[in-house]
């Protein structure tokens, strides 16, 4: 992703002697990767092509080298590298698996009420115009004040001592309907 046009990027690649493939991400790819909230954002993939780490912002190149060496089974000394399996924190298509969402404080809820809240986040559409569920909008656009307020309202209602202690209803997906940037199935 970049804010410059393709000619400026080609010039940059030539000027700095970049010797690896450079591609521009389409809006669809950006959505598939859960949004790109910061530049640079780097993804580390394993040998099977699965994303095992996501880094936002500038990082020490030693971090990437260590992660790649670990994935290749090479010596990394006494360093421990942690990877993850996406449970909704990276890809929109996994939003229904999320146990945490950016900017949403579930700490005041019991484990049972957290499940209820997460079902509601996946069942209710965000009204900011994104055509995503509240969960998808929190993952895709961490700065969205509308989904942040709506999820906070749901959490507050569930945390209230007067809140009904109902069992969670099955989530109904509110997948985007009119957007060309639909998350993958």
Provide CB contacts within 8 A for 39, sequence distance 6+.
1, 2
Distance CA 130, CA 180 (A): 11
Q: What is the fold of 6-72?
A: Glutaredoxin (3.40.30)
Q: What is the pLDDT of residue 153?
A: 94
User: Within 10 A of 163 (CB to CB), how many other CB atoms are there?
Assistant: 13
Note whether 6 and 24 are within 8 A (CB): yes
* pLDDT tens digits, one per residue of 54-111: 887 888 888 888 888 888 887 777 666 666 665 555 555 555 566 778 889 988 898 8
Distance CA 66, CA 61 (A): 9
Q: What is the pLDDT of residue 97?
A: 64
Q: What is the pLDDT of residue 99?
A: 73
* pLDDT tens digits, one per residue of 29-56: 777 777 777 778 888 888 888 888 888 7
Mean pLDDT (the chain, rounded): 76
The helices-and-strands tally (H runs, E runs) of the chain is 6, 2
Q: Can you tell me the mean pLDDT for 18-38?
A: 77
Q: Can you tell me the mean pLDDT for 154-171?
A: 68
Q: What is the pLDDT of residue 178?
A: 39
Exposure pattern of 43-57 as b/e (b: 16+ CB <10 Å)?
Answer: ebeeeeeebbbbeee
- pLDDT band per the 50, 70, 90 thresholds, residue 180: very low
Query: Which token pair is 79?
Result: 């360093």
Locate the domains of the chain by residue range: 6-72, 92-159
């Amino acid at each position: 992703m970049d804010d410059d046009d393709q000619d400026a990027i080609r010039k940059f690649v030539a000027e700095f002697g970049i010797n690896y493939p450079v591609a521009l991400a389409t809006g669809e790819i950006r959505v598939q990767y859960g949004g790109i909230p910061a530049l640079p954002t780097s993804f580390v993939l394993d040998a099977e092509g699965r994303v095992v780490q996501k880094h936002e912002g500038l990082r020490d190149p030693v971090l990437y080298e260590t992660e790649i060496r670990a994935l290749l089974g090479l010596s990394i000394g006494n360093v421990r590298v942690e990877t993850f399996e996406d449970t909704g924190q990276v890809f929109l298509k996994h939003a229904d698996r999320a146990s945490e969402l950016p900017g949403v404080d579930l700490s005041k809820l019991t484990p049972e009420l957290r499940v209820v809240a997460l079902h509601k986040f996946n069942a209710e559409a965000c009204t900011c115009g994104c055509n995503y569920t509240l969960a998808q909008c929190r993952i895709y656009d961490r700065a969205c004040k509308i989904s942040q307020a709506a999820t906070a309202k749901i959490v507050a209602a569930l945390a209230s001592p007067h809140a009904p202690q109902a069992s969670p209803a099955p989530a109904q997906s509110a997948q985007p309907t009119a957007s060309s940037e639909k998350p993958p199935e």
